[in-house]
Amino acid sequence: MAADHSHAHDTDDGAVHVHIAPTRFYWGIFGALVCLTIATVKVSYYDFGSANILIALLIATVKASLVAAFFMHLRYDKLFNTVAFLAAFLFLGIFILLTNDDVLVRAHDHGYAQKMNLESGQQAPGGEPATSATADDVAGEGHEGAPSGSAGHGEKKE
């Protein structure tokens, strides 16, 4: 009785399967990785303004994709693993964008930022109060160190 092996390649038997590729192919991938590493170093000597991080991430993504696709055999694996790999890069991009948005907002003065003296690096005198609740404390002092708008112990405010 002969077993039908026509669909054997569709099932996962748990065994390690060797993906035979010519050694020359792997040396080509290695050469591409070396060239991309040299490109990363060369690009770091030039100022592209705000595109510096984008260029560095693009080169790093290409290098990581080459390593994952060929040296880690992702190209020969199931589609689910490729989707999971690409989803990781998608979420990494989202996290970087959210972090970048937070960092860029910090650079603008919205009235609640701490004022700094650029020459000394110290906090500048006369900044805004921390909250609106402490605004009266800064505006003026009443008797016995109490803020001018507040009532004393047991006194009614008129």
158 residues of the chain, pLDDT tens digit each: 445 444 445 556 667 767 678 889 999 999 999 999 999 999 999 999 888 888 998 999 899 889 988 888 888 888 898 888 889 888 988 998 888 887 777 766 555 556 666 677 777 666 555 555 555 555 555 445 445 444 444 445 44
Closest CA to 43 of 68, 31, 67, 60: 60
Say if residues 123 and 117 touch (Cβ distance below 8 Å): yes
Angle at 58 between CA 20 and CA 80, to 5 degrees: 50
**Amino acid letter, 140:** G
Q: Which one, of 72, 61, 59, lies nearest residue 26 by Cα?
A: 72
H/E stretch holding 132? none
What values do phi and psi take at 44, rounded to 5?
-65, -20
Residue type, 47: D
Q: State the pLDDT at residue 117.
A: 66
Tokens found for residue 3: 């077993």
What does residue 94 show for φ and ψ, rounded to 5 degrees? -65, -45
